[in-house]
Structure 1
Amino acid sequence: MASSLKKNIGFGGLISLGAGGVIGSSWIYTNSQFFKAYGAGGEIFGLIIAGILAVLVSLSFAELSTVLTKSGGEVVYAYAAFGKKGALFAAWALMGAYLSILAFFVTASSLLISDIFPQISTGPYYTFAGVKVHFIELIIGVAITLVVFAVNYFGARLTGNVQILLFFGLVILGGTLIAVGFFKGSPSNFFPAFYKGQNSLSSTVRFVLPAMTFMTGWESVAIMAEEANLPKRLIGRVVVFSIIIASLYYVLVLLSSAWIYPWQATAKMDMGTIDAFRAAGFPILGMFAFIISFLGLSTSFLTLFAATPRLVLSLARGHMLPKGLAKVNQKHGTPTNALWLVLILVLGIGWLGKGALIYFLDIGGFLIALAWSFNALSLLKIRRKFPNLTGGFRIKHLTFPVVGGIFAFSMAALTVIPGTPISLVWPYEYIVLGIWVILGLIGFWTGDRDETVSGDFLGSSLDDLKQTNSQSK
């Protein structure tokens, strides 16, 4: 049974997976809803805060990805710091976040198509959370999911090359919107950035939670580091650069839409940035925004569908899931069994439809905040256990990732405490979270307690760390 992944991803592919994985689709058309709820300032400033938070948190991933370069990223780091219990917790949080977002994409893909072809939102349907799910929409979403699965199945090189092309399209189209928006628009369309009498601080902070879901995806760089064909030091830099690129892209495109057309009017529309450029007299740019939503959905879909099976593979290598899930296709160099499992899970929850969109985002935001904070803790623990640890990327001041980790944990804690500005929606989101907690506990209680792991899980990395530590003593 082969279990070695091929080093098929170059610099361009890796940064396209990282930045392209962050840039999704919903942000460009749901800003009408978010402008209405939080004001244009609430969404845009909330994204800036989430971006800064992500950069701070990413520093711990950046350092550890250059030392422990095995597939799985945070799962491997958590094992090095806390053993199997830590690895299971990290996997539970990251997989929950990624599966939530992937399920969101199943629905979002058909939602986008229905804007051009409203006919797909007709015919037989069922209802979830008071919202109709038409069978044609579901079939289209499933078909797109299968295409994403197929691209990932045939190798990381293909995934990376496809991602480069899609990301290049995002840059060209987004740059056009930004240039026209700021050149032809006016700051008076954006300011004041909040509704009269609106609590600007509360609105901004409340949006940070879904914004954190928008900011996820860059962790895939660390998760897929084993397949990166470039120096380790560059892997750490790509982790950080991916967030900076994606954050600037988000903020500038959204700000250009609020510059070109009054955001209060956009808040009353259905498709956010797409409708804003259309209403401002730029129908072609409205189509550009629409294409961006498709490209962003594709890049995020591809990245997270590539990263999630690597988490499964890592757990199987660590004897925390059945060993069959560690199988790697010798020809394509991909974790095929893990890919099939992820496909089943995504389709198993993707049928919930448009009524669950916000649920997916909020639950995903909570879990990713938890994962981010835990990785900062893993870095502190590893630094203490191995004080002479060196890699291709080393943080001089641990204050930065610690601050990011504390902030991320605070956001996660506030979401589960009822009555806070960012609390989960009662009762649906608490029920979904409760189910995921139960599944995590079942996996923890029934898992193999033996701390022995396969060589593929950590390779020689942990032995090197231990040797470095003993020499320092």
Structure 2
Amino acid sequence: MDEEKLRLKRDVGLMGAVSLIGGTMIGSGIFMSPQTVLSTVGSPGAGLVVWACCGLLVILVSLCYAELGTVIRESGGEYVYILRTSGPVVAFMLIFSSVLFVRPAGVAGTALGFAQYVVAPFYSDCPPPEVLVKCVAAVAILLLAAVNCINVRLSMSVQVFFMVVKVLSLAVIIMGGVVMLVGGRTEGFEDSFENTHVGIGPIGLAFYQGLWSYEGWNSLNYITEELKRPEVNLPRAILIAISLVTGLYLLVNVSYLTVMTPAELTSSSAVAVTWGNKVFGRWGWVMSLAAALSAFGSLNGTFFSGGRVCFVAAREGHMPDILSMVHVHRLTPSPALIFTAAVSLLVLIPGDFQSIVNFFSFTAWFFYAVTLSGLIYLKIRKPHLPRPYKVPVLLPVLVLVAAVFLVLAPIIDDPQMEFLYVALFVFSGAVFYVPFIHYELRPGVLTKLTVFLQVFLEVAPGDKHL
């Protein structure tokens, strides 16, 4: 086949890149994490510092990724970078963890955020029943699984509509806070740093919750091959998008603290609903609806990308063949989407929002640390590689130290068996790699199951450029 036919078109410009990063980042996190960040660090001032530091950390790690994206000009993000610097075993560990936990955990966590806001108006005086929240979250996952399996354009139309809702929701919250702040409502900022919890564990967990809201900062590295002038637009888009999102998040948190006392904020199960009730009175349910719609849009995007990661892993031979197939009529990777939905539902059953976010962040930052180690390796061992954009070697070293801190902080300060289980799960990928990938062991029953599912689901092997 002609090589030119295999090359993706570079159609994404600077504005499209900024929109992709910002739209992926803004989701349910800013409506779910503020109360947890505040309760973890103990004071409004420390909470705002955490949000600002999360934004700064994300900018710094993104600039490191910008250099990686201009040195290794392939789409695929961490998977490709780790494959090129650390080898196939570690890359398989990433895919293994991503497909079986990280991506489904992202779907489950976002679905819980959506469900929390759907049921919040009906339980204004008490927390909603956990079973009800999980049932609503499960329905949302199944609904979006169906939407994404039916039609890609329908899924993208959903994404565009809810992106507008997200921005309008944040704008309303910010403007409401500005009006009250100008009116002299400053009680929430008195003694801003009193009762701050200083410790390795609280700081690490607060960062986990804050960084959840910034997830998506690396989305542009997954489509590097489609970005116009990546050596220029990649770092520019990162700085513009993440700086804007950081500013929005800080203003939203200031608005929360202007309208609510720290005690009201930490005790709220749905902070935007509490904010709406205090600002709009009986019309406060509008904010619940806006937050739910925003979370639903974020869930759709998370589900869409999660299904594609599973599809790509199978296409590369790192997952069963059935997951690399597409529907013969709708041209959607329905087996991968169905599999992602099924694993997400399993993660949803025992988990709660905070635990899912903590374990998600723990695993994600472990692989971010591995990726940054690869950048340092390239700088030291291969300094002559073309680098249209580069950062000082001190920058990835500092961010690597921060990533290692984030991985180790919860374990050192307050060891929990759950983190050990997650770590064992991540490293178990290397055990599965040897028989199933290196020696290509394929049980006969898996082949029969693949044929059965291929006929039942009406799917066939997919093209590389689905």
Q: TM-score range by the shorter chain?
A: 0.7 to 0.9
Give the corresponding residue for 1:400.
395
Distance in 1, matches of 2:19 and 2:290, equals: 15
What are the within-5 Å matches in structure 2 for residues 451-466 of structure 1? none
Q: CA 1:240/1:140 → structure 2, altered by over 3 Å: closer, same or farther?
A: same
Structure 1 residues 245 and 326: CA distance shift in structure 2, 3 A: farther
Give, as a single letter, the amino acid of the residue that structure 1 aligns with 2:398. V
CA displacement at 1:181 relative to structure 2: 0.5
| Deviations 1:282-335 (CA, angstroms, capped at 9, x unpaired) | 338844542442243223322322222333333334332234433356776654
Correspondence for 1:46:
50
Is contact 2:188–2:262 with CA below 8 Å preserved after alignment? yes
The answer for the alignment partner of 1:466 in structure 2 is none
- Are 1:106 and 2:106 an aligned pair? no
Partner amino acid for 2:119? S
Given that residues 85 and 378 in structure 2 are in contact (C-alpha distance below 8 angstroms), is that contact kept between their aligned partners in structure 1?
yes
Aligned to 1:326: 324
Identify the residue that residue 364 of structure 2 maps to in structure 1. Answer: 368
Q: CA RMSD in A?
A: 3.7
Unaligned runs of 5+ in 2: 441-462
In 1, are the aligned partners of 2:66 and 2:235 still within 8 Å (CA)?
A: yes
2:434 match: 445
The question of whether the paired residues in 2 share the 8 Å contact of 1:9 and 1:229 is answered with yes
Whether the 8 Å contact between 1:104 and 1:360 is mirrored in structure 2 is: yes
Distance 1:137 1:73, change over 3 A: same
- The whole-number CA distance in structure 2 between the counterparts of 1:245 and 1:350 is 32
Contact residue 12 and residue 227 of structure 2 kept, 8 A: yes
Q: 1:83 aligns with which of 81, 87, 90?
A: 87
Name the CA shift for 1:142/1:269 in 2 (closer, same or farther; >3 Å). closer
What is the aligned counterpart of 1:178 among 174, 183, 193? 174
Following superposition, the deviation at residue 385 of structure 1 comes to 5.5
Q: CA deviation at 1:253?
A: 0.5
Map 1:271-290 to 2 at 5 A: 271-279=270-278, 281-283=279-281, 286-287=284-285, 289-290=287-288
Match of 1:167? 163
**Which moved further from structure 2: 211-220 or 92-101?**
92-101
Instruction: Give secondary structure in 1 for the equivalent of 2:438.
Output: coil
- The equivalences for 1:238-277 within 5 A come to 238-277=237-276
What is the rounded CA distance, in whole Å, between the counterparts of 2:152 and 2:401 in structure 1?
Answer: 34
Q: Deviations over 1:227-272 (max 9, x none)?
A: x465534355434544333322222111111123332343344432
Helix, strand or coil for the counterpart of 1:282? helix
| 1:184/1:260 contact within 8 Å kept | yes
| Structure 1 residue runs without a partner (length 5+) | 123-130, 459-473
- What secondary structure does 1:448 align onto? helix
CA separation in 1, counterparts of 2:396 and 2:273? 36
Q: 1:299 to 1:390 in 2, by over 3 A?
A: farther
Judged with a 3 Å threshold, the aligned counterparts in structure 2 of structure 1 residues 283 and 64 are, in CA distance, closer, same or farther, namely farther
Match for 1:165: what amino acid?
Answer: F
Structure 1 pair 183/133, CA: closer, same or farther in 2 (3 Å)?
closer
For normalisation by structure 1, the TM-score amounts to 0.77
Question: How many residues are treated as equivalent by the alignment?
Answer: 430
Does the 8 Å contact 1:66/1:236 carry over to 2? no
Counterpart AA for 1:296: S
2:304 pairs, out of 303, 306, 318, with: 306
Question: Out of 19, 25, 43, which is 2:22 matched to?
Answer: 19
Per the alignment, residue 62 of structure 1 pairs with 66
Change (3 A) 1:384 1:447: farther
Superposed displacement of residue 104, structure 1: 1.8
Distance 1:357 1:328, change over 3 A: same
Deviation at 1:33, TM superposition (A): 4.6
| Aligned partners of 2:272 and 2:291 also within 8 Å | no
* 1:351 to 2:355 alignment: no
Taking only the aligned residue pairs, the percentage that are identical comes to 19
Contact 1:16 1:160 in 2 (8 A): no
Distance 1:369 1:264, change over 3 A: same
- Give 1:461's aligned residue: none
Matched residue of 1:374: which SS? helix
Residue 385 (structure 2) pairs with residue 389 (structure 1): yes
* C-alpha spacing 1:341/1:193, structure 2 compared with 1 (3 Å): same
- Between the aligned partners of 1:313 and 1:205, the Cα distance in structure 2 is 33
1:415 aligns with 2:394: no
Q: How does 1:286-297 map to 2 (within 5 A)?
A: 286-287=284-285, 289-297=287-295
Secondary structure in structure 1 of the residue aligned to 2:58: helix
Partner of 1:212: 211
Amino acid in structure 1 at the alignment position of 2:77:
G
For 1:410, the aligned partner's letter is F
**Structure 1 residue 43: deviation in Å?**
2.7
TM-score, scaled relative to structure 2: 0.78
CA 1:6–1:140 in 2, change beyond 3 Å: closer, same or farther? farther
Aligned partner of 2:121 in structure 1 is: 116
Change (3 A) 1:143 1:331: same
Aligned counterpart, 1:469: none
CA contact (8 A) 2:205 2:410 kept: no
Q: Is the 8 A contact 1:69 1:222 kept in 2?
A: no
Gap change, CA 1:9 and 1:184, over 3 Å in 2: farther
8 Å CA contact 2:115, 2:292 repeated in 1: no
Residue of structure 1 in register with 2:460 after alignment: none
Specify whether residues 431 and 404 from structure 1 end up closer, same or farther in structure 2 by C-alpha distance, changes over 3 A only.
Answer: closer
CA distance in 2, matches of 1:303, 1:157: 13
1:7-29 Cα shifts (integer Å, max 9, x gaps): 69855665444323222325424
**For residues 7 and 333 of structure 1, do their structure 2 counterparts lie closer, same or farther at Cα, with a shift above 3 Å needed?**
farther
Please, which of 122, 137, 140 is the counterpart of residue 136 of structure 2?
140
The C-alpha deviation readout for 1:392-427, integer Å capped at 9, x for no partner, is x6224232233212211121022223xx1xx45x34
The residue type paired with residue 45 of structure 1 is: V
Distance of aligned partners of 1:337 and 1:52 in 2 relative to their CA distance in 1, 3 Å threshold: same
